[in-house]
Amino acid sequence: MEPTNPNPVFNPGTNKKNIRLWFLVVFAALSVIFISGYYLKKNFDLKKAEKQEAIQQEELVLPKQECNFQDDEAAFDAAVEETDIFFCDCVKNEERKAVCKKVTMETKSFNQALVQYDTELCRQILDEERQKACLNIVQSGIDYIQAKDPQYLAQIYSQNNNYDKSIELFENLVVQEPNNTAYLLSLALSYAEKGMMEHNESQYVDKALSLVEKAKTIKSNDPEIYRTEGYIYETKPDYEKALASYNKSLELDKNYILSYLGRGHTYRLMGALNEALEDFRQAAKLDSKKEYPDIYANLCVLASTRSDLEKEALQNCQIVVNSKTAASAAKVNAHQVMANLYINQKRLAEAESSLLSAKTYAPKDPNIFVSFAQLYLYKKDYALAEQNAQEALKIDPLKTTAYDTLSYALYQQGQTQEAIAAAQKGLEVIGQDVSLLFSQKAGVKKRLYYNLANIYSYLKDKDNEMRYKKLGDEAEKEFIDNK
């Protein structure tokens, strides 16, 4: 699972009136497109979100879908109408349940394509007529908003990890207004994010920092400038400089929420989890209006790593899942955490539904494929585990956890040499895998070494078995020391 991006989420509620009117036209068109029986949910259930946020931490339990439906068709219809994959788990017929999940996912993809202005999400829809309708509506929206408010569109692209398009738009805006610090910093963040996503930080970090330096010459006492600089140093990575920049930002404004969030994110990457938790909680305390869902996304992920904070993790995950403004990456991470919690309770159908929900937000996120692979390992479906791990590696060849999962799946299928190669490749790339926290790397190395020890034990190669067992024991000690 990727560390949750601490950058602020653009709030579409502040957009211009004509943009809102365009959305009304879009949703009116959707009622015609889905007249055959497929429905889209236009509005979020605000009462449900308010109720969820009001629940006290000690009262939280892992949600369970109540199946109070007359029959399978009623559950199917509710799932599609509410775009809630969990209702599909109430369908008793397995074939009908699979169809339910497929249709509901396509409906959610349609919704997300409109929210993210992303034609790639439309292409996840298999029904040709609905895919064509989705592409047409999304493209018309892109054309309209790019002409009326390119900054809004650029922020939407950046929020949803579409950095090529956000960079193109922000570069044009900077040319038009070279002294606009908001444009300079937004472009800098997009450069840094693109570099991290492509494992090409050296090419983009210097470009990003040069924009920050220019912003300093225009408005030297702006805490957002140093907050942005801190995040760019995170992606380099240079954690000491990142902390210095966040501290400078907080010197300028001791209540600057985003700098507590950013500094907590750096502490988390460094493995200083108590300090990270303290900063995230301080950010949440300052965020009295719940305007920054990334705070709760980070608390969701961090608290889930501690059994004593499982209830706090769930509370924050649910805030993110129910949020109208949370970025797609935040929702993906929240759904993955909830999937892990379901797995811990052996509620595998609900775990799968959580991952399917995550996939509708980011169908090409390698972490989702790794999570699916791990779920299939738990279900002992090793062929599907292998398939999903391979999909993750197609997207990100440096994804160490995918090699770990792939190695185990191959070993369980008797493909020992391929399993050895996968584990060794994981050990080769782990130093370059920026998606793993420093504190996590020893734990992943431990699993890779023990995988190799088990394989060589099966092959009756005692020397290599003992060699990798020793390395695994050393990695385990390192992992414990880093906790």
Question: pLDDT tens digits for 78-93?
Answer: 999 998 899 999 999 9
Question: pLDDT tens digits for 413-444?
Answer: 999 999 999 999 999 999 988 778 777 889 99
pLDDT of residue 153: 93
Give the C-alpha distances (Å, rounded to integers) separating 47 from 44, 52, 54, 115, 227. Answer: 9, 9, 11, 21, 34
Give the C-alpha distances (Å, rounded to integers) separating 85 from 22, 69, 104, 143, 434. Answer: 28, 15, 6, 32, 32
Kindly list the domain boundaries of the chain, sorted by start residue. 365-483
Would you say 444 and 401 are in contact if contact means Cβ atoms under 8 Å apart? yes
Give the C-alpha distances (Å, rounded to integers) separating 409 from 405, 425, 463. Answer: 6, 15, 23
Q: Assign 302 to helix, strand or coil.
A: helix
Helix axes 257-270, 239-252, angle to 10 degrees: 160
pLDDT of residue 246: 98
What gap in Å lies between CA 422 and CA 435, rounded to an integer?
18
The alpha carbon of residue 232 and the mean position of all alpha carbons in its chain are separated, in whole angstroms, by 19
pLDDT of residue 148: 93
Low-confidence stretches of the chain (pLDDT < 70) are 1-60, 482-483
Please choose, from the candidates 106, 133, 91, the residue with its C-alpha nearest in 3D space to the C-alpha of residue 38: 106
pTM to 2 decimal places: 0.74
pLDDT of residue 212: 97
365-483 placed in CATH 3.40.50.150: no
Half-sphere exposure of 297 (CA within 13 A, CB side): 32
Structure letter (DSSP) for residue 436? S
